[in-house]
Structure 1
């Protein structure tokens, strides 16, 4: 029998290089760290946002802040819940802001892995506080200066922009602000220190002063109702402005005295430009053109061809045109002397003037007026405390009226005005000259001003007003007539008298004229005019008028809270 033997050899050793062994060791450690990290649980914060009554608040922003600058913002759902997952272990805080509630800031929350940290937020209503600061509009500290009287009004900037654009309406608003004047002729209006001028367009005005220093000696009348307008100078940069204003009757209501709404349209174009001429000169120029297509409403009582009483209601077109051109140049000769030159040309025309109300279409006439104004102002700084002003103004105003005075005018009191216009060919030409020189100086607590003014007015007026005559009919006692237009006798056989209106008197006059009665017979039956007036002679009249005045005034600041003004 053969026996097999099993021989076991010992295992052979495997030699691994040292560098490869180090790499295998690092790979194994990294794999173990990854396994450990993957197995570490993450933390979370969950909760609900509610108000103090435990009503949920959806859509609230919840911000969670943690270590290493961690920050995340989530929004609550429709049930007010929020959840922030994937948080590393550490300390976190929660912030919630919602309109109407006080901001919420939580204390630090410890978050660890395993299960989420539950935290509910209750918001409290915030205290509503409102701070109102009341300031006086345009409040100025109390001043004892003569120019700072409490009744003075300064209009500039936005206050000026809010006023009427039409110069006539603007003047009416300024006169209302100025209040009643001390004379029956109304207040005084000064344009750049000159009297007698017309109000420029609003875009040319820099500032308006009303009732300032009313008792200043340099003015010939107390300043109640006084309006001082100062125009804009040029600037050192070019500026321009163009405006187009349009108004139509579509949105206007009907005039209650008119049976129909007459057409109306207003178109106003205005533009200005300003800037430097050269290093020491600047200019400002303004142009305005207005056309107003309007109507005059006649609402009167008259007679038709059969002498029956009818109501006369008519809309008579009387369009107007206004054109204004006004340039101004300021030139500085040197550091002590400046010159301002301003020119203004204004042209106004109107057709069918003199109609409306009781005045019928036959009384219409046309008007044309043009104004030329030249103003020169030189300011000289004599020294650091003395200033001299020299001013000169020339105005030429030409007004012409053209109407039909070949027919006599007929005035039936309380009913209508008919017949010819009676203005005929009338002309009024005025030349106005004005020269002023004022000196202002400061002497310690004294502000001294003195000077003089010379004004000359030359007037040439040619008027043919009422050269055609005017018949006036008024109501009075007259014989009462029967249906046959014969006097009704009383018990004694005398005509029975009664009061007849002015229109009935005019009606009897026309009726008996048609029947061929003479003036005496017409008057015996209660007809005929109550009055007839007529003007004749040389229509031209010339007047030359001059006035001059000097003044001196001293505003003395006796104490910081006391000022005394003296003037003559």
Structure 2
């Protein structure tokens, strides 16, 4: 024991000596550098892609100048710079030269991103770009926030918490794109170069409307191999017992993640791999009133998920880059459908898998044009399996038991191709492009195939007197295809040094609708009124369209009265709905159809935004949006009984018609407050939104209370969130 203790003391002395020696070395290094600064500059094109072989020069206040060329990642680093201000000039073939003045350098690491515009067809004399010019550029840094690699590294390591952090920073209704693609999973944060939050909703290139769009750009390539391995664990130790639960339910989450990236061909080709596996379970409380008495229990809900991705980045030449990516995302969830009034026999299992293939190429051609083309193939499969195939029994305000009334398979094959072209002429910076999407859908999913009994009360259940029996009958198998297309043109015209005017036009149409004249004009202006550039005003207006979704269109094909129909029996027998003789009433079968005159939904939007830089440290954004929805989709029973007259067509049951007759009005104000420059040590953001949304329709399959008095439906929308507040802090 004595000898063992001596070894421990010796080890402690050795470790202490090493730490003291390391501290002395660090102090000596700091004294030698004298508080010198390091500056890393990233050069990107208007799409956010890295520009290689760009020449960058940095000149300090003392007149000392350093020059360098960007690497495969579009970055160049300058060391041993003196603190203070510096002048930066960036030049690249096919792009306008850019001059940045008064970049502040502090001791230690500094980072700046420079976005170059496509060279104008008419050559102009290159002059220094002041704050008014930068802030009046709708694609510039005004009304946008950027997270670099250092800030991204400070975000949570857990993939789900990382994604939640991005959503909190963006605020509600944000659209997230990764290298221009929507959907799929976010890449690991170690593989992300930059995250840009933009507030430019009136650009013609966007189909979606909203306050914020989030563009995630991955690292274009690396020179060394890197890898990471992570493990996470969480259980119910700090969870409280739900109020109505008889006990605290078990919870657990186990997560493994892995990344590996490096060069396959140095300075040409890089490989990025990642894997994320999760196994977890939580508990759902069941509280019901059964004929034999109160029932309460806790049901375990296991789930597991595995996400894999591989990406290859290849530099074709100095101005062209090729990117290929594959994702596989799969998951299984058990005991869904259980909880609240739903008893354990209502459980069902959901298995889902997704395969995504992505290919994109971007670069400059003819020295004046920047083109980006991307294509995506998305394959998904979904299988639902119910624990029981018994008819469902629903006793209002008491319990629901029996089968989940869901099951079957669904497969989708979706294809997308898009192209964006940027070019400039004189004072015009233009962008044009198109989007084509096509899909094939196959499904044999069943809903309410074994029927549902509805009882008005427990007493009615004890007496065996259901009020309604409903069942969807017929063959659920179907297959259909569809496509949708959009093109756009955008012109950003610099009217004055501090004023940019934007004009755009977009057209969209779908194969399911006859409506083709869906032109969406967009206009906007960006104005920086003061010379210091501390105030920027942005205003705009435009027309947007919403797609007629594939899932809604599928219902019109599935429940069309021929393939499938809804059977309804009033006052049925129990357990045999047809055993009640003449007392039961079999209603004619119902169906779902779309209005032949249906139009694509449209939303007219106008907005005004102000960004102010306060005390040279903070940024305040205030955005107001007004929206007027026209031709919105609603469901209406056009064969509903009329008081005293019965149904218009007594030989048919409910005919749910999807029509574009609804409307909405929305006022929203969003405030963002945060630091002017985000740093890696501490960054934060506060968001508040006020919203007031009124409508008279709740979706394509939502029915009004009175099918012949639609005006009475006007009121607060279900999605109306009057106040929203979010605060984010990371260090």
Q: TM-score, normalised by structure 1?
A: 0.61
**Residue 138 of structure 2 corresponds to residue 146 of structure 1:** yes
Distance 1:226 1:560 in 2: 26
Find 2:300's aligned residue among 307, 317, 339. Answer: 317
Find 1:556's aligned residue among 493, 496, 504. Answer: 493
Distance 1:313 1:201 in 2: 41
SS at match of 1:246: strand
Check 1:397–1:562 CA distance in 2 against 1; reply closer, same or farther (3 A cut): same
Find 2:292's aligned residue among 308, 330, 352. Answer: 308
Find 1:297's aligned residue among 285, 296, 301. Answer: 285
Q: Is the 8 A contact 2:389 2:402 kept in 1?
A: no
Shift of 1:172: 5.4
Find 1:402's aligned residue among 356, 374, 385. Answer: 385
Shift of 1:360: 1.2
Deviates more, 1:319-328 or 1:550-559: 550-559
Check 1:203–1:288 CA distance in 2 against 1; reply closer, same or farther (3 A cut): farther
Residue 451 of structure 2 is matched in structure 1 by: 469
Q: Is the 8 A contact 2:259 2:272 kept in 1?
A: yes
Structure 2: stretches of 5+ with no match in the other structure: 1-110, 114-130, 506-731
SS at match of 1:147: coil
Deviations 1:474-497 (A, max 9, x none): 2xxxxxxxxxxxxxxxxxxxxxxx
Check 1:545–1:168 CA distance in 2 against 1; reply closer, same or farther (3 A cut): farther
**Residue 216 of structure 2 corresponds to residue 234 of structure 1:** no
Distance 1:265 1:151 in 2: 41
Q: Is the 8 A contact 1:215 1:223 kept in 2?
A: no
Check 1:200–1:330 CA distance in 2 against 1; reply closer, same or farther (3 A cut): closer
Deviations 1:148-182 (A, max 9, x none): 4755444454654565666566555555554454x
Find 1:208's aligned residue among 195, 212, 232. Answer: 195
Shift of 1:253: 2.2
When Rg is computed on C-alpha atoms for both structures, the one with the higher figure is: 1
Correspondence list, 1:131-142, <5 A: none
Residue 261 of structure 1 is matched in structure 2 by: 248
Correspondence list, 1:302-451, <5 A: 302-303=289-290, 307-310=291-294, 312-404=295-387, 406-424=389-407, 426-451=408-433
Distance 1:225 1:448 in 2: 22
Check 1:329–1:171 CA distance in 2 against 1; reply closer, same or farther (3 A cut): same
Distance 2:444 2:159 in 1: 28
Distance 1:406 1:262 in 2: 28
Q: Is the 8 A contact 1:291 1:321 kept in 2?
A: yes
Matched pairs, number: 376
**Residue 206 of structure 2 corresponds to residue 251 of structure 1:** no
Distance 1:215 1:201 in 2: 30
Residue 541 of structure 1 is matched in structure 2 by: 478
Distance 2:372 2:205 in 1: 13
Deviates more, 1:427-436 or 1:152-161: 152-161
Check 1:252–1:221 CA distance in 2 against 1; reply closer, same or farther (3 A cut): closer
Residue 98 of structure 1 is matched in structure 2 by: none
Find 1:455's aligned residue among 437, 445, 450. Answer: 437
Q: Is the 8 A contact 2:343 2:401 kept in 1?
A: yes
Residue 286 of structure 1 is matched in structure 2 by: 274
Distance 2:410 2:473 in 1: 18
SS at match of 1:250: helix
Check 1:252–1:238 CA distance in 2 against 1; reply closer, same or farther (3 A cut): same
Shift of 1:380: 2.7
Check 1:203–1:360 CA distance in 2 against 1; reply closer, same or farther (3 A cut): farther
Q: Is the 8 A contact 2:184 2:327 kept in 1?
A: no
Distance 1:540 1:208 in 2: 43
Shift of 1:444: 3.2
Check 1:367–1:165 CA distance in 2 against 1; reply closer, same or farther (3 A cut): farther
SS at match of 1:406: coil
Structure 1: stretches of 5+ with no match in the other structure: 1-137, 182-186, 475-501, 514-527
Deviations 1:302-325 (A, max 9, x none): 22xxx3321x22111111111111
**Residue 182 of structure 2 corresponds to residue 195 of structure 1:** yes
Residue 19 of structure 2 is matched in structure 1 by: none
Distance 2:190 2:444 in 1: 36
Check 1:350–1:205 CA distance in 2 against 1; reply closer, same or farther (3 A cut): farther
Shift of 1:399: 1.0
Q: TM-score, normalised by structure 2?
A: 0.48
Distance 2:159 2:442 in 1: 27
SS at match of 2:248: coil
Distance 1:334 1:149 in 2: 29
**Residue 459 of structure 2 corresponds to residue 504 of structure 1:** yes
Distance 1:170 1:533 in 2: 45
Deviations 1:506-556 (A, max 9, x none): 2x33xxx5xxxxxxxxxxxxxx11221111111122231211111111112
Shift of 1:213: 2.0
Q: Is the 8 A contact 2:277 2:307 kept in 1?
A: yes
Deviations 1:280-320 (A, max 9, x none): 1011111111111222221x2222xxx3321x221111111
